[in-house]
Structure 1
């Protein structure tokens, strides 16, 4: 019975052109990878924004931690898994995010679930941007609190809802800092004004902001010059920080409460010392040499955005390394991605339900490790493949 139902649903997914499959890759460096057959690709689909996964300092820190503390943490941090590496990283994260304290989780996804599920109570109301990440959406759902969705980055709509929605408990405003599919940035100045006016707790998921925006690379608050104005900042260690895991930074009283009440933190085996040390080493590089990495990232992002536009592609304007190339239909998007794969370029084709119907696109991402020649050649290939598809339509 179950297998029959699942087979029918899978067939429906395939008919709609929405089937997803895992692609195995062996990364040679931050920008190139081999598949199982040995074919080499230029990777323009990674969130490794600073290109530090292969930095010698990061690899050395990871190896040293594994040699000193072992391969795994062996348990929850509240039982046996409270390694030095975790606390050391949390102190550095708190300073970097201009916060009192920080707490590391196993993934960025679990951080959002753990924070929202841990803090929200009956009577609270969450005001959530309609394009927030799935982890925010799921965190709101499992909290069983009322969630009010406002139009994407529409502060007038948010204000209207804050004024009209009755709230018996606490108001929460939750948003991505940099939105993962469009690469645009939340209107933090207005969000801060609204959170102060309505006595709301403002939570910003800065997963795609850290190592990407702000003069020091610390994210959305630094980008706008609003340090200390966000109540809780969610982040990940698996993108610009070149490792794995997630974290939340904020006031010490909130972090202490989450240590005692956040079930995803309490009941999860802690991250390995090697992963924590790698993130810590990456963060040290960003803190001590921000312009070395950020400057190149910003230059590469602007260059590829301009080159793709010159190739006649519909590119959403922005300043982040997330460059959406709009296509429209899911089937055509996946043909586009497949054509690029054949040409030796890996780019993510994004379809519903990740984006709305009719808004399928290529999600092109740039890193600080890409060379100018790689980006110029990639733009020519992407333009050529697109024109070829148009000629067959």
Structure 2
């Protein structure tokens, strides 16, 4: 037997991690030890949670808990197959029908995640002869779907409708389908996509219009119907993507549109074809969540009340919360922009020591020089909790020289 020491072929990954540590942007996962709530326990420490996507507090809503338990008792813990073989349960169809009615469209297909919904849809409906006109700050799942499609990608400046139209005009005589795609709400800055103008541009050049509404589902529009409802552009967006993992409180993503679009995705969207379907408890939970959106609009009102208060106070403290060389937040996502990655990560660590969970975000998730703490309001934060969090943010911000 040879006694030669084997060279580790993955040593380059260790080198890259060491580089991150040297830059001060390496992180370790914080572990949640109880429920995802406004105040919860990470790594044994009770903190005010400003990092969650649990906008409406539905992760612990009694109606959702009950629905999950009942479905588990009735149907078991798993579906046992992919949707196209033996894994389409009646409860999956009920969820898709419920979402389609809620979003005022013909049909809906549910994916295992919002990422899978975006990547699977873009890569399924386009090919290498086609074109994608994409906002420069679109979500990673859109970018990956665009790459997988092998279509030619034209990027337009963030929220710049005129530039999007220029890109469309530059390819108007080229064969192939054209797809205009934008986030409804941009996840790092919290600003809203200019859907009416993009719809105009898409219609002018006969392009497909697609919107990723992950961070506006449950937040914007009537009872949380999203940006299409917020702007009243019903019938003008051909492909609507949403998530079941944020305001809805559970897990998954969905695509809404025409019956033909959804039937095509049943046949051709690879994440749908090759991933086991949701456990029945998840589908039941999501059905219950849409009932709550209809029945408890006061949750969304409270979310926005907290958002307005928190933004105003952060600005009064002197934090850069967007609008200075970065987009201005218009939603419960409010970034505190500090610039340098090392400082953002230090800010996050010291906030945690004070009693706040607020994650540092640096390159490559955001551009170099635009590292930040991303804060997200929820409907379940109390005024006292937010006041306490603001005091801690001010204290740590002053200590680190982020505010005066």
What interval of TM-score do these two structures reach, taking the shorter chain for normalisation?
Answer: over 0.9
Is the Cα contact below 8 Å between 2:358 and 2:374 reproduced in 1?
yes
Aligned residue pairs, count: 391
Partner of 2:287: 280
1:193 maps to what in 2?
A: 200
In the TM superposition, what whole-angstrom CA distance separates every residue of 1:304-349 from its partner, at most 9, and x where no partner exists? Answer: 0011111111112433100011101011111111110001100011
Match of 1:231 in 2: 238
Relative to structure 1, the CA distance from residue 368 to residue 377 in structure 2 (aligned partners, 3 Å threshold; closer, same or farther) is same
Cα contact 1:30–1:52 (8 A) shared by 2: no
Partner of 2:65: 59
Task: Decide whether the 8 Å contact of 1:123 with 1:167 is kept in 2.
Answer: no
Deviations 1:141-160 (A, max 9, x none): 11111111110001111111
Give TM-score scaled by structure 1 length.
0.97
Q: Give matches, 1:14-25, under 5 Å.
A: 14-25=21-32
User: SS at 1:26's partner residue?
Assistant: coil
1-structure distance, mates of 2:292, 2:402:
47
CA distance in 1, matches of 2:309, 2:156: 33
Stretches of structure 1 lacking an aligned partner (at least 5 in a row): none
Q: 1:386 maps to what in 2?
A: 397
Q: What does 1:182-261 align with in structure 2 at a 5 Å threshold?
A: 182-261=189-268
For the 8 Å contact 1:125–1:167, the answer to whether it is kept is no
2-side partners of 1:153 and 1:365: how far apart?
Answer: 22
TM-score, normalization: structure 2?
0.94
Aligned partner of 1:312 among 307, 318, 336? 318
Contact 1:27–1:33 (8 Å) recurs in 2: yes
The one of 78, 85, 102 equivalent to 2:84 is 78
In the other structure, the counterpart of 2:386 is: 375
Aligned to 2:352: 341
The alpha carbon displacement at 1:392 in A equals 11
2:121 aligned residue (115, 139, 160): 115
Structure 1 counterpart of 2:343: 332
Structure 1 stretches of 4+ with a deviation exceeding 6 A read none
The Cα of 1:384 is off from its aligned counterpart by 0.9
Residues 1:149 and 2:155 are matched in the alignment: yes
- C-alpha deviation, 1:162, in angstroms: 0.8
Which residue of 54, 72, 83 maps to 1:48?
54
Answering whether residue 182 of structure 2 is matched by residue 175 of structure 1, we say yes
Distance 2:158 2:23 in 1: 27
| RMSD over equivalenced CA pairs, Å | 1.5
